[in-house]
Chain A
Amino acid sequence: MTEIADSNVVAGSGQPAGGPASTAPARGARVAEWVMWYGLSVFAALVLSAVLVEATGGSWRPVLSALIDGSLRAPGRWGETLGTAAPLLLVALGTVISAKAGLVNIGQEGQLLIGAAMATYLGFVIGGPGPLNMLVVLLAGALGGALWAGIAGVLKYWRGVPEVLSTLLLVTIAGQAVAFGLRYDWLLLAPEANRGNRNQVSDQIPDGSRLPRHTLFGNEFPVTVFIAVALAVLVAWALARTVWGFRLRMLGRNPRAAQRAGVSQTKYGSAALLIGGAFAGFAGAAMLAGGGFAFGNYRLVPGFSTNIGWTGLLVALVAREKALAAIPVAFVFAALRTGSGFVGSTGVEGRITDVIQGLLVLALLIPPAVIFIRDRRRARAATTART
């Protein structure tokens, strides 16, 4: 019931656009408009979350402080947050690429899982010397993710199945496939001696293939963080400054014009899907090899992906498909995630962070849409006034 109030308020006040014939407003006014809308809707989302906490018998202050403790303030926590933000950012980067090509790939969760599984499998089977094997693990992850996204690509460009649906259905199949693999020791299951008391668990990946962890002011995080940020810069550059990126964006904005200009939809579209999947799979491999207790502690387990794929997708959407903007957004979402572990101690169910996250995303969708509609109205009013 809470969500509708939010959207109605904003939708309602978005209705009457300025005066008749008002021309494009000055730059300052525009910035003010953006800031106002974003401020308003984020504030509304936070108030709604607080109301929800209060209504179920909690109080919002301790929840907020637990969130901050869990994500930043308590010793070692911001390292944990950074370590969570890295895979989120990687997934988001892949999503940015496929979204730029006009594709709605929403199967990152499955692609990530298959990536991690492939990394586990190839990492053990090939098992070369340390640093080389680390590379194999990471590449295997990217390969696995690309493979899983590739199924959706084949179905789309060969059989005309909408990728929205195929990527989604493949998420469930991926989860089951990995659980299947974890039942047999010729696939992913660890030999009996290394299983401990658990049923479905892979071997711990060997020391040499783990990603090094970096320590800064008592906070430890894997080097994935640096890799992810570097890749964000690379993706931003490739999309904005290369011919390939230009064609991709053209395909996304106007497929017909792109086709006339000789951009093959099949070629660029499937490339975007594959790269998007590869990023998600890479994130999975990096989670596996980067360690961290939240990510199975160097072991593959069923449900290893723990919603990182879904959240990474949301990061990309909130960042409005901009690679660099995804960096801070990924950090905020990672903070919500690491903070949620501390919320339980306040007596409020930890899943409140899922609600906060959903409301925030919804709130962040509203301002651009409102401003878009208002701009349209202004433009139309201006043209009718002239004629």
Chain B
Amino acid sequence: MLDLFRAIGEIFTAESTYINGALFAGLLIFAATGEWVAERAGTLNISVEGMLLAGAFTSAVAYDQTSSVALGLLAGVVGGMIVAGVQAEMSHRLAADQFVVGLTLNILVFGLTGFLDREIAPATKIASTFDVPLLSDLPLIGQALFGQPWPFYLLYPLLPFSWWLMYRTRWGLEVRAVGEDPQPADVSGIKVNLRRRQSIYYAGMTSGLGGAFLIFVQVGRFEDSIVGGRGFIAIAAVIFGGWTLWGTVGGCVVFAGALSFRLSVQGLGYQLNSEMLQSLPFVVTLVGMAIFAHRVRPPGALARPFVRGLT
């Protein structure tokens, strides 16, 4: 028992725990921020997994062709937006069931990127690291937050920007109105399905960046298991955070902690059953939701399609 406490203490004082945690949290935050916007507009967008994978693949291919990380990031955004396009047009122009579309997209993107990966096999590597002066010398968290490959720092403007977009612009107000109750929004002249589509495109953008983040910051090369269900954890983080931005970020940090704990345990040489560790983040996510899901109120029209005159 004492050993266990010592192990946990060692994990919490190891810098690698925080570095891994920041990497996992970064990915989850990229995905979850967009997902949060989409959910506030009323779409429980499960294709975020596919968006991440598509973004990772397109950014890998773009880097392979041009050797430019910036273009790779841009291509990641495009990849995420393509998946978002299908999801948005099919679920909010055609009113097809959003879960069905999302699920199919996940499977399709998985098959497509796996197929193309064997044909193209893009070569990529981690982007160059950039140490923020002074801040990166902080103990424990310095390297984790300020000593990462440079695409990591896109996170810092993304969060305030998303907050500003949702709470300080007319667009954000309309998006929240549309997700809360589409009828009055429609009557007051807001284009409900247009706003919903746009919010899904926003999710595609951030998740595409998240995919590129996987390639350039975290993993370094494409494989079809690169996302491995973490898109779903991002969705859980939004629910866990009670559909607020800062709650969502908090959820991402908690779940990233579980993901990183798994690596740290192995890295420090402790023998724990690997299957139990593999499923730990998912169990933590489930337990977290079981505790918090009923304390928060979802957007009123979450996962309900809007067709004028019908609902």
Contact = CB atoms under 8 A, between A and B. Distances in A.
A303 interface: no
A357 interface: yes
B293 A351 contact: no
A314 B104 contact: yes
A74 B229 CA distance: 38
Contacts of A161: 239, 286, 289-290, 293-294
Given A176-B279, A180-B276, A369-B90, A1 B82 contact: yes
A185 interface: no
A370 B109 CA distance: 23
Given A160-B293, A165-B236, A314-B107, A349 B86 contact: no
A280 to B, nearest CB: 15
Interface string A163-182: 01110111011001101100
On chain A, which size bracket covers the interface?
35 or more
Contacts of A4: 82, 85-86, 89
Contact of A177 (B94, B103, B115, B275): B275
Contacts of A358: 104-105, 107-109, 111-112
Contacts of B125: none
B99 interface: yes
A173 B94 contact: no
B95 interface: yes
Interface string B115-143: 11011000000000000000000000000
B278 A169 contact: no
Interface in B69-103: 82-83, 85-86, 89-90, 93-97, 99-101, 103
Contacts of B101: 362, 365
A369 B96 contact: yes
Interface in B288-304: 289-291, 293-294
B114 interface: yes
Interface of A: 1-4, 7-8, 11, 14, 52, 56-57, 104, 106, 155, 159-162, 164-166, 168-170, 172-173, 176-177, 179-180, 183, 310, 313-314, 317, 349, 351-355, 357-359, 361-362, 365-366, 368-370, 372-373, 376, 380
29 contacts: A3-B82, A11-B89, A56-B119, A104-B99, A155-B289, A159-B289, A159-B290, A161-B239, A162-B44, A170-B282, A172-B282, A173-B279, A180-B273, A180-B275, A183-B273, A314-B107, A317-B103, A349-B118, A351-B118, A352-B115, A354-B107, A354-B112, A355-B108, A357-B111, A362-B101, A362-B105, A365-B96, A373-B94, A373-B307
